[in-house]
Amino acid sequence: MSESLAMLLQHGYRYALSLAHHTAKAEDLLQDAWVAVIQAGGPHEKGYLFCAIRTRFYNQHKRELLAPMEPLAPIHESILETGDGLNTVLHGIEDPRLETALAQLRGIEREVLFLNAVEGYTAQEITTITGQARGTVLSMLSRTRNKIQRHFIASTNRAVQHD
Amino acid sequence: MTDHYSTDELIKDYYHKQNLSADKLQQMTEIAQLKNQQTKPAAINWKQRWLAQRNISIAASLLLAAIISLQWIIATPTQQQLVASIAQEIAINHQKQFGSDFKAASYIGLRNAMKKLDFKLVDPDRLKARGLQILGGRYCSLHGQIAAQVRLKNDTGAIFTLYQTSSHDSFNTLTEHSQRANGVEIEMWNEGGVFLGIAG
């Protein structure tokens, strides 16, 4: 297996995860996008793959808003119940507070944060990828970070009170 | 966690720990490899298709050329067929025995009278010894070309008709011929750039 190909797919998976915040959905997103890239004979590049993933995520998201779908079979994975009832399926979580904080974010917020904090894209580059205005991207980054911090503080306070 | 830097570090660390399962990774790599394998034969197929189309085109061109050649060979009359056809036409014209439209006693006189001819009437050497008298002439056609029919009479009073037309196209390839058509003796030859045929 090519090392660069494996790296590319891992990058794609993490990006899909930032959007969907659900491992199975992220895998499906990546697979759909990957098949599309291959069938189109597109370049094996991160930007191209991200674009394919993003398009599929938002198309799927629109469909789900129009016609909510129930899974045919139960998902046999560990499900973490969040405080406000959000279900997320994630592997290897060390700090459940971070996972809960991420689960409470909107997809676009997680995406923007992921692209900046994990992939190292600048605000201008994120603007190109997401189609959001540069000012919106900057304020969204700031607000998202604050949300996570507030969530951490609130969780810590609740834990202290509980003790 | 007190600042953005540490938030980002946490986020980064969190996502770097999320990995696509080995099975999925293998599956997706295989998809790429499968596509590569499918692409190579497709290139060969294009080449084969192009070669097949080229061969079909060549074969079709050769067939078309053969058909055209065959048709041309069939449609082009042989010299023998041409001679027979002209002889037949001369015999029919001779048997009609139409009167002369232009009265003249010499070829020069007829030439001056028949101005529509696109060739000059000749006084054929071949007939000089026969002592034929010119009675007159008229326009006619021979093998689709304008021709002159000259009425002649010999010492015994027998009527002959002489046909002259421009010796071009198929006529100039005709060699001297004598043959019988419709019971009429016909001689044909070329002389001075003119095709001649006499019946009688």
Q: How many domains does chain B have?
A: 2
**B54/B99 same-domain check:** no
**B114/B141 same-domain check:** yes
Q: Is A152 on the interface with B (CB under 8 A)?
A: yes
Residue labelled with tokens 């994990």:
A118
Q: Look at B29 and A18 and tell me if their CB atoms are within 8 Å.
A: no
Q: Look at B15 and A95 and tell me if their CB atoms are within 8 Å.
A: no
Residue-range definition of the domain harbouring residue B49: 6-74
Chosen from A9, A122, A138 to mutate, greatest number of chain B CBs within 10 A: A9
Tell me whether 0.85 is exceeded by the ipTM: no
Residue B1 falls within a domain, yes or no?
Answer: no
Distance from the B53 Cα atom to the nearest Cα atom in chain A, whole angstroms: 27
- The predicted-structure confidence for A80-126, as pLDDT tens digits, reads as follows 333 333 333 334 445 678 888 899 999 899 999 999 999 999 999 99
DSSP B86: H
Q: Is A139 on the interface with B (CB under 8 A)?
A: no
Helix or strand run (H / E) with residue B180: strand B177-181
Q: Which two tokens stand for residue A137?
A: 């991207």
Instruction: For residues A80 and A98, give the distance between their C-alpha atoms in angstroms, rounded to a whole number.
Output: 12
- Split at pLDDT 50, 70, 90, the class of A66 is low
Residue B186 falls within a domain, yes or no?
Answer: yes
Domain C-terminal end among B24, B48, B74: B74
Nearest CA in chain A to B15: A14
Domain C-terminal end among B74, B104, B121: B74
Which of B12, B19, B31 lies at the smallest CB-CB distance from A34?
B31
Instruction: For residues A132 and A122, give the distance between their C-alpha atoms in angstroms, rounded to a whole number.
Output: 13
Residue B108 falls within a domain, yes or no?
Answer: yes
**B122/B26 same-domain check:** no
Which of B15, B17, B19 lies at the smallest CB-CB distance from A114?
B15
Residue labelled with tokens 């540490």:
B6
Which positions in chain A touch B20 (Cβ < 8 Å)?
9-10, 13, 27, 30
**B95/B166 same-domain check:** yes
Residue B111 falls within a domain, yes or no?
Answer: yes
**B112/B60 same-domain check:** no
Phi, psi of B139 (to 5 degrees): -80, 145
**B53/B89 same-domain check:** no
Given this model, what pLDDT does residue A65 score? 62
Q: Is A1 on the interface with B (CB under 8 A)?
A: yes
CA B122-B127-B129 angle, to 5 degrees, is 130
Given this model, what pLDDT does residue A156 score? 79
Q: Look at A14 and B10 and tell me if their CB atoms are within 8 Å.
A: no
Q: Look at B26 and A35 and tell me if their CB atoms are within 8 Å.
A: no
Count helices and strands (H / E) in chain B.
Answer: 5, 6
Distance from the A91 Cα atom to the nearest Cα atom in chain B, whole angstroms: 7
Q: Is A112 on the interface with B (CB under 8 A)?
A: no
For every residue of chain A, which 3-state class applies, written as one string?
CCHHHHHHHHHHHHHHHHHHCCHHHHHHHHHHHHHHHHHCCCCCCHHHHHHHHHHHHHHHHHHHHHCCCCCCCCCCCCCEECCCCCEECCCCCCCHHHHHHHHHCCHHHHHHHHHHHHCCCCHHHHHHHHCCCHHHHHHHHHHHHHHHHHHHHHHHHHHHHHC
**B58/B92 same-domain check:** no
Q: Which two tokens stand for residue A19?
A: 């959007």
What string of pLDDT tens digits covers the 200 residues of chain B? Answer: 445 568 888 899 999 999 998 888 888 888 888 776 665 555 567 778 888 899 999 999 999 999 999 988 887 767 788 888 889 999 998 988 888 899 988 999 999 999 888 888 999 998 888 889 999 999 998 888 899 999 999 989 899 999 999 887 778 777 888 888 888 999 999 988 899 999 98
Q: Look at A9 and B1 and tell me if their CB atoms are within 8 Å.
A: no
**B24/B90 same-domain check:** no
Query: Kind of pairing, strands A87-88 and A80-81?
Result: antiparallel
Domain C-terminal end among B37, B56, B74: B74
Q: Look at B15 and A152 and tell me if their CB atoms are within 8 Å.
A: no
Which of B11, B14, B28 lies at the smallest CB-CB distance from A9?
B28
Instruction: For residues B192 and B78, give the distance between their C-alpha atoms in angstroms, rounded to a whole number.
Output: 24
**B98/B19 same-domain check:** no
Q: Taking the model in full, what pTM does it have? A: 0.49
Distance from the A69 Cα atom to the nearest Cα atom in chain B, whole angstroms: 24
**B37/B116 same-domain check:** no
**B70/B89 same-domain check:** no
Phi, psi of A83 (to 5 degrees): -60, -35
Closest CA to A18 of A7, A8, A30, A6: A30
Q: Is A50 on the interface with B (CB under 8 A)?
A: no
Q: Which two tokens stand for residue B130?
A: 């026969």
**B29/B90 same-domain check:** no
Q: Is B38 on the interface with A (CB under 8 A)?
A: no
Q: Look at A2 and B12 and tell me if their CB atoms are within 8 Å.
A: no
Given this model, what pLDDT does residue A15 score? 95
Helix or strand run (H / E) with residue B56: helix B22-75
Which positions in chain A touch B37 (Cβ < 8 Å)?
none
User: Residue B54: CB partners within 8 Å, gap ≥ 6?
Assistant: none
Taking a C-beta distance cutoff of 8 angstroms, is the pair A36, A12 a contact? no
Q: Is B37 on the interface with A (CB under 8 A)?
A: no
Q: Which two tokens stand for residue B105?
A: 């006693």
Which positions in chain B touch A147 (Cβ < 8 Å)?
none
Torsion over CA: B27, B29, B30, B31 (sign): positive
Q: Which two tokens stand for residue A157?
A: 């306070």
Contacts 24+ apart (CB under 8 A), A22-26: A22/A88, A22/A89, A23/A77, A23/A89, A23/A90, A23/A91, A23/B18, A24/A75, A24/A77, A24/A89
Buried b (16+ CB within 10 A) or exposed e, A118-144: bbebebeebbebbebeeebbbebbeeb
Q: Is B40 on the interface with A (CB under 8 A)?
A: no
Residue B44 falls within a domain, yes or no?
Answer: yes
